Amino acid sequence: MNRRELLQFGATGALVGLMPRIALAESGRIDVYITGDSNIINFWNNIIKPAFEAAHSGYRLNVVSARNNIAPIVDRALAALGSSTDPQVNLFDENDPNLPAGAIEKGLWVDFAKAGLENYDKINPVTKESDYGLPYRGTQVVLAFDTTRLALADAPKTWDELTAWIKANPGQFIYNRPDTGGSGGNFVRRAIHEANGRDPSIFRIDNYTPGESDALLAKGFELLKDIAPSVYGPGSYTADNMQSIQLLAQGVVTMAPVWSDMALAAVNQGVLPETTGFIQLTDLAFAGGFADMTVPSNAAHLDLTMKLCDLVLSPEIQAKVVTEIGAFPAIEWKYLPEALSAKYASLQPASIPVFPGGPWVSAISDGWFRTVAPHVQR
Amino acid sequence: MSSADPASGAAASLLAAEAPVRNDRRGLWGLLLVAVPVALVVGLILWPVALSVLDTLSVTTPEGRRFSLAHYRFFLSDGFSLRNLWLTIWVTAVSTGLLLGLSLPIALYLRFSHSRLAGYVQTIALFPLFVPSILLAYALIRTLGPNGTLDTLLNAVGLPKIPSPYLTPWGPIIGLVWDNLPLTLLIVLAGLGNVSQAAVEAARDVGANRLSVLRHIILPRITGTLLVAACFVVLGLFSAFTLPWLLGPTVPEMMGPFMRRTIIDVDQPTQARTQAVVTFLFCAVFAWFYVRSTARNRRENER
């Protein structure tokens, strides 16, 4: 075969590969736009798509990666509202229904409280933020620890127990710098919550005032300065989430705050040993959040899209949310297989505080670097 | 050529008249060709740099922008910033010293040895050139970090644990030396090419030992090269980011991570620019050394 023939052959092959897509595009295509990373795209492609297509033959789930470019697609759906145009999107995997402003009032998003989903009542109430967003996977900062050195029963469950344990076991705890990777950052934010009466509502996106707010943060930094001589190093902080996990895996430290999904994935991949335990503080949890699915009310095949939402909330898929991507299930643990819920029961959040971004981020980063980090001279 | 041949005389004068025109045109072409890169450098680098520097030299008041040294005053009176600058200078000085100290003996060996082993040594010494620094950082955490490979090996033979360089200033120093060794070695090797075998053998013939050959024959000939190598290394180290960020201490931090954090997390672009200008001034001193040294080398070669 000469080169020209090879090229012709290849082009024909590529066209044949495209043909079924073109043929099906007209009929039963359900478009799902993903903002998440490749692990989320893989999850939709390898877990949800086969399950959905097996249950609804003749329909095809089209998983599209939109990463940070979801806004134009949302705008397109909004523009198509009220006309008979197909917005060509059925579901966004992670999207804030409050954006763009006014979209809810115009009726862009399906109201899930009224949509009559079979699995809607199974949802853990603490994960719900809006009727227009359907939570399905969550991540939160938790404490990961080595159960061969600290039994689950003895693990600290409150901030006071945690700081007492850190001081009693110098060098056995590390958290990463608050500017990179959220696990250390949310540990710092938990200290700030602690120092201000464990009331997350004090901190809102629009109420940062220089000076006054800095005094609130400084109270949290004092708590961190208190434990600084007892953290690994002493007074050393890793540069990112993954390095804390690495130090835990190498047996250097006994405990570190980690993102639940990263750490569970690390256990599933063998980076962290099976003997890794996880615990969430019960007096006030570390910050975290859930990804909300949203559905435009003008989507084609709306009934089928609702069936897709029900499928994602089914105990089978929610169990996979835990085992495949290491995220929290949105439905309550009691609906999941017993072995799984027993293993991760200590992770179940009673509440999921959030800490606002905006000017708070720079105030926390600068304040921590200037006061807490240089506190211990090595 | 005689004046009896007016035709050839005219031709000659025509040629003479035409030659400068052709030269001019060639010069114009040359200028046009150079204009593109010059315009790119001016438009994409010098102009934004000038704007940034102006930015650091002014403050915005209700009446408009006015000249002020406030940003520099803040930097120079801020103990936190100065500690970061000092750490950067210290790490750079130590790393440069180590790099020259390591690459000179290796380069001497490679230049004067004719054994097959030299080829392998060269391969090993140049290997870091092909390893991205992010891979190097994670590899160093696994090997030199606490409970890393080195620790495990030492423990296996009954030796005590070493205090790990990870998260101390020695972490980035080890990483940066490893990362910059190939470039330094290549420059020093190139410089050693100027040292003729004959000069070394002549000195040996009159009884010079190895040390005096090094001191009186080799070093004077490669001083310029060593300076060039040091300049290159310093310029690279001052702006290093990945290795200081991943391997180094949280505080003080080197200027690379410090600038990144100031602009992204602390959200103070002007302060970050001030840090950049200060960093640039330090680098400019070495760039000046470099330019002077290359110019001198060229003059010497032309002579």
Distance CA B174, CA B170 (A): 6
Q: What is the pLDDT of residues A325-370, one digit of tens each?
A: 878 888 988 898 888 888 777 776 667 788 887 788 889 999 999 9
Distance CA A291, CA A127 (A): 9
Q: Kindly determine whether residue B147 and residue A238, on different chains, have CB atoms separated by under 8 Å.
A: no
- State the pLDDT confidence band at A12, using cuts at 50, 70 and 90: low
Of A56 and A191, which is predicted with more confidence? A191
Query: In Å, what is the CA distance from B209 to each residue of B108, B201, B205, B220?
Result: 15, 11, 10, 16
Residues 6+ apart with CB under 8 A from B150: B143, B144, B162
- State the pLDDT confidence band at B22, using cuts at 50, 70 and 90: low
Find the mean pLDDT for residues B117-129. Answer: 89
pLDDT at position B180 is: 94
**pLDDT reading at A80 higher than 60:** yes
Q: Is A332 helix (H, G, I), strand (E, B) or coil?
A: coil
Q: Which chain B residues have a beta carbon less than 8 Å from that of A221?
A: none
Q: Which chain A residues have a beta carbon less than 8 Å from that of B148?
A: 250
- State the pLDDT confidence band at B21, using cuts at 50, 70 and 90: low
Q: Kindly determine whether residue B145 and residue A236, on different chains, have CB atoms separated by under 8 Å.
A: no
Main-chain dihedrals φ then ψ at residue A224, nearest 5 degrees: -75, -35
The half-sphere exposure of A197 on its side-chain side, counting CA atoms within 13 A, is: 5
Q: What is the pLDDT of residues B79-100, one digit of tens each?
A: 999 999 999 999 999 999 999 9
Radius of gyration of the CA atoms of chain A, in A: 24
Query: In Å, what is the CA distance from A124 to each residue of A48, A143, A169, A181?
Result: 21, 21, 36, 27
DSSP H helices in A26-88 = 38-43, 49-55, 71-80
Cβ burial, residue A182 (10 Å; 0-12/13-18/19+): buried
State the sign of the Cα–Cα–Cα–Cα dihedral A253, B95, A372, B242. negative
**pLDDT reading at A3 higher than 50:** yes
Q: pTM of this prediction?
A: 0.77
Amino acid of residue B22: R
Cβ burial, residue A378 (10 Å; 0-12/13-18/19+): exposed
Nearest CB partner across the interface for A365, out of B147, B245, B261? B261
Q: How far apart are the first and last CA of chain A?
A: 70
| Chain B interface includes A243 (CB < 8 A) | yes
- What percent of chain A is modeled with pLDDT above 90? 44
Q: Which chain A residues have a beta carbon less than 8 Å from that of B80?
A: 369-370, 374
- State the pLDDT confidence band at A23, using cuts at 50, 70 and 90: very low
Find the mean pLDDT for residues A246-262. Answer: 92
When mean pLDDT is compared over A62-76, A215-229, B119-133, the highest value belongs to A215-229
**pLDDT reading at B4 higher than 50:** no
Distance CA A228, CA A222 (A): 10
pLDDT at position A20 is: 45
* Residue burial A105-138, b: 16+ Cβ < 10 Å; e: rest: eeebbbebeebebebbebbbebbbbbebbbbbbb
**pLDDT reading at A159 higher than 60:** yes
> Nearest residue of B to residue A175 by CA position?
B250
Query: In Å, what is the CA distance from B123 to each residue of A316, B113, B171, B228?
Result: 55, 15, 24, 23
ipTM above 0.85, yes or no: no
Determine the distance in angstroms separating the CA of A247 from the nearest CA of chain B, rounded to an integer. Answer: 8
Q: What is the pLDDT of residues A232-248, one digit of tens each?
A: 989 999 998 889 999 99
Determine the distance in angstroms separating the CA of A24 from the nearest CA of chain B, rounded to an integer. Answer: 44
Q: Kindly determine whether residue B250 and residue A236, on different chains, have CB atoms separated by under 8 Å.
A: yes
| Chain A interface includes B35 (CB < 8 A) | no
| Chain A interface includes B29 (CB < 8 A) | no
Q: Is A144 helix (H, G, I), strand (E, B) or coil?
A: strand
Q: Are A275 and A148 in contact (CB under 8 A)?
A: yes
Nearest CB partner across the interface for A369, out of B141, B168, B251? B251
Interface contacts A/B by beta carbons within 8 Å: 56
Residues 147-166, chain B, touching A (beta carbon < 8 A): 147-148
Q: Which chain A residues have a beta carbon less than 8 Å from that of B245?
A: 239
Residues 6+ apart with CB under 8 A from A330: A123, A124, A127, A134, A135, A136, A137, A138, A290, A313, A318, A321
Nearest CB partner across the interface for B266, out of A238, A240, A362? A362
Q: What is the pLDDT of residues A297-322, one digit of tens each?
A: 988 888 899 999 999 999 999 999 88
> Nearest residue of A to residue B264 by CA position?
A362
Residues 131-190, chain A, touching B (beta carbon < 8 A): 177, 179
> Nearest residue of A to residue B260 by CA position?
A179
Amino acid of residue A252: V
Q: Which chain B residues have a beta carbon less than 8 Å from that of A247?
A: 145-146
- State the pLDDT confidence band at B6, using cuts at 50, 70 and 90: very low
| Chain B interface includes A370 (CB < 8 A) | yes
Determine the distance in angstroms separating the CA of A228 from the nearest CA of chain B, rounded to an integer. Answer: 13
Q: Which chain A residues have a beta carbon less than 8 Å from that of B83?
A: 374
Torsion, CA A218, CA A223, CA A227, CA A228, rounded to 10:
0
Distance CA A269, CA A271 (A): 6
Q: Which chain B residues have a beta carbon less than 8 Å from that of A370?
A: 80
Q: Kindly determine whether residue B251 and residue A362, on different chains, have CB atoms separated by under 8 Å.
A: no
Q: Which chain A residues have a beta carbon less than 8 Å from that of B168?
A: 378
- State the pLDDT confidence band at A127, using cuts at 50, 70 and 90: confident
Q: Which chain B residues have a beta carbon less than 8 Å from that of A251?
A: 147
Q: Which chain A residues have a beta carbon less than 8 Å from that of B266?
A: 362, 365-366
Amino acid of residue A123: I
Q: Which contiguous run of DSSP H or E holds residue A31?
A: strand A28-34
pLDDT at position A216 is: 95
**pLDDT reading at B177 higher than 90:** yes
Q: What is the pLDDT of residues B100-115, one digit of tens each?
A: 999 999 999 998 888 8
Lowest mean pLDDT among A5-14, A50-59, A108-117, A162-171: A5-14
Q: What is the pLDDT of residues B183-241, one digit of tens each?
A: 999 999 999 988 888 888 898 899 888 889 888 889 988 988 898 899 889 988 988 99
> Nearest residue of B to residue A377 by CA position?
B251
Sorted by where each starts, the structural domains of chain A and their CATH numbers stand as 29-137+290-335 (3.40.190.10), 139-288+351-372 (3.40.190.10)
Cβ burial, residue B64 (10 Å; 0-12/13-18/19+): exposed
DSSP state of A46: I
Q: Is A329 helix (H, G, I), strand (E, B) or coil?
A: strand
DSSP state of A123: B
Find the mean pLDDT for residues A277-299. Answer: 89
Q: What is the pLDDT of residues A269-278, one digit of tens each?
A: 889 999 999 9
Q: Which chain B residues have a beta carbon less than 8 Å from that of A254?
A: none
**pLDDT reading at A16 higher than 90:** no
pLDDT at position A337 is: 87
Q: Are A276 and A150 in contact (CB under 8 A)?
A: no
- What percent of chain B is modeled with pLDDT above 90? 47
Q: What is the pLDDT of residues B135-149, one digit of tens each?
A: 999 999 989 989 889
**pLDDT reading at A68 higher than 80:** no
Q: Kindly determine whether residue B167 and residue A179, on different chains, have CB atoms separated by under 8 Å.
A: no
Q: Kindly determine whether residue B167 and residue A237, on different chains, have CB atoms separated by under 8 Å.
A: yes
Residues 6+ apart with CB under 8 A from A263: A142, A144, A245, A272, A276, A278, A326
Kindly report the average pLDDT of chain B as a whole number: 87
Angle at alpha carbon of residue A253, lines to A247 and A257, rounded to 5°: 80
| Chain B interface includes A273 (CB < 8 A) | no
> Nearest residue of A to residue B78 by CA position?
A370
Q: Which chain B residues have a beta carbon less than 8 Å from that of A378?
A: 168, 249
**pLDDT reading at A15 higher than 80:** no
**What's the token pair of residue B30?**
């040359």
Q: Is B248 helix (H, G, I), strand (E, B) or coil?
A: coil
pLDDT at position A165 is: 97
Residues 6+ apart with CB under 8 A from B92: B234, B237, B238
Whether the bond into A234 is cis, omega within 30 of 0: yes
Q: Which contiguous run of DSSP H or E holds residue B147?
A: none
Residues 210-269, chain B, touching A (beta carbon < 8 A): 245-246, 249-252, 261, 264-268
